[in-house]
Amino acid sequence: MEKLPSLKIKGFEIPVPIIQGGMGVGVSLSPLASAVAREGGVGIISSAGLDKLISKRTGKKLDTYEAVYEEISRSKDYGGFVGINIMVALQKDYENSVRGAIDAGANLIICGAGLPLGLPGIQDPKETALIPIVSSSRALEIICKKWERFGYRPDAVILEGPLAGGHLGFKHDEIWKEESKLENLLLSVKDFATKHGNFPVIVAGGIFSYMDIIRFLNLGADGVQMGTRFLATEESSATNSYKRAVVDAKKEDILVAEKPGSPCGLPFRVLRKSPMFVSALHNPRKPRCSKGYLLRKDKEGNFTLCDAKESNENSFCVCNGLFSSAGYNPGEEEELYTVGSNAFRVDKILSVKDLMDELKGKC
C-alpha cells in the first residue's frame, strides 16, 4: 500500500499525518497521547476538566495552568509530537490552558468550540503551533483577519465536517446538506489557506480508515484528525462501559442531540443509549451542576450562567456526564457517550500500535 506522507507544521515534521482527536472530558490524557506520539502521529490532550482529573490522579490540588503543564510534560516524556485541544467555550479556563500548554512546550494548540479570535495575543507561542478548528472558509477568513492585528497567521487549520463527534460547528439544519460535506468544504478552505500563507489543512469528521486518509490527501488535505477510532483503544481513558457502548453501537444508535442538547447551544453528537441522555430525555430531573466548566458570565461579570444549571428539560449537563464517562465521579451521575458518525463501524478495542499500523496501511 501507498506510504502516508509526513506532515510539516511550523518548522517541524510529523512522520505520520494523523492527529489524534482531543476528546474530553478525560478520554484524551497522557496514556493515549503519548502512545500516538510514539507511533509517529500527534497525540492530543483534552484540556477540559484537567484541573480536577490531574488533581485526583496526583493527590495534589492543581489549578488549570498547573494541570495542563503537568499533563503536557508527562506526555512529552515519551518522545514524539504532543498537543492539546482547548475549547473556546470553556471561558473560565481558556487562557490559563493556553499559557500552561505553551510553557510546557506543547507542539500544537488546537482551538475549537467557538472561534479563537484572540489566541495569538494571550502569550507569545514561541515554538508552539496555533491551529484553529473551523467548519467553513468564512470562519477561517474571520480568524485570519483578527489574527492580523497580532502579526500572526494560523500555523495550520483543522477543517471539521458535520460527521464528527461532540460539539459541531453547524446549525442543526445544515448538518445533512450537500454543501456541508467535508469534501465539499475542503476546496474553498484549501484555496484560502494556499493564498494566505500556504499553511496546512487538516480534515476531521467521519474519517475512519487508511483508504479514507488516502482519499482526502488526494483531494488536497495535508493531514487528518481522528477521534472515535482512538476512543476505542486500550490506552484511551474512557470507562470500559463507554468503550463497550461504542463497540456495541449500531448506526441507528448515533444521533445529533437537539432537545435536550448541550447547554452551549451547539449540536452535539451522542449515542442514543447514553445513560445521561436517556435520563434527560425521558425523565427531566433537578439539575446537578457541580463542575461548571460551561458557565458564562452574568451581568456583573461573574461566571454563573448555564442552561443546564437552570433546567435539564432543554439541556443535559455535559460536564458531569463526560466526567462520569472518564470514571471521575462513579455513582454521582450517569455517563454521557459522545461519538463520531462512524462509531458503529468499530467492532473491537485495539491497542494504539495496532490501530496506527492499520491506519498506516500496514494491515
Q: What is the pLDDT of residues 182-219, one digit of tens each?
A: 999 999 999 999 999 999 999 999 999 999 999 999 99
> Among residues of the chain, what percentage have pLDDT more than 70?
91
Please state the domain extents for the chain: 7-238+348-359, 240-343
Q: State the CATH class of domain 7-238+348-359.
A: alpha beta
Please state which of the ranges 24-33, 219-228, 329-338 shows the lowest mean pLDDT: 329-338
Q: Which residue has the higher pLDDT, 171 or 217?
A: 217
Q: What is the pLDDT of residues 63-110, one digit of tens each?
A: 999 999 999 999 998 899 999 999 887 788 899 999 999 999 999 999
Model confidence at 167, pLDDT cuts 50, 70, 90, reads confident
pLDDT mean across residues, the chain:
89
| pLDDT reading at 300 higher than 90 | no
Q: Are strands 18-20 and 223-226 parallel, antiparallel or unpaired?
A: parallel
The alpha carbon dihedral of 166, 92, 316, 33 has a sign of positive
| pLDDT reading at 343 higher than 90 | yes
Top mean-pLDDT range of 33-47, 254-268, 325-339? 33-47
Query: How many CA atoms within 13 Å lie on the side-chain side of 187?
Result: 5
Q: Please give the Cα distance from 234 to 334 (Å, whole number).
A: 22
Q: Report the pLDDT averaged over residues 9-23.
A: 95
Model confidence at 311, pLDDT cuts 50, 70, 90, reads low
Query: Please, are residues 340 and 332 in contact by the beta-carbon 8 Å criterion?
Result: no
With a CB cutoff of 8 Å and minimum separation 6, the contacts of 211 are none
Please state which of the ranges 112-126, 133-147, 254-268, 349-363 shows the lowest mean pLDDT: 254-268
Q: Give pLDDT, residue 304.
A: 63
Model confidence at 363, pLDDT cuts 50, 70, 90, reads low
Please state which of the ranges 51-55, 207-211, 306-310 shows the lowest mean pLDDT: 306-310
Query: Please, are residues 227 and 343 in contact by the beta-carbon 8 Å criterion?
Result: no
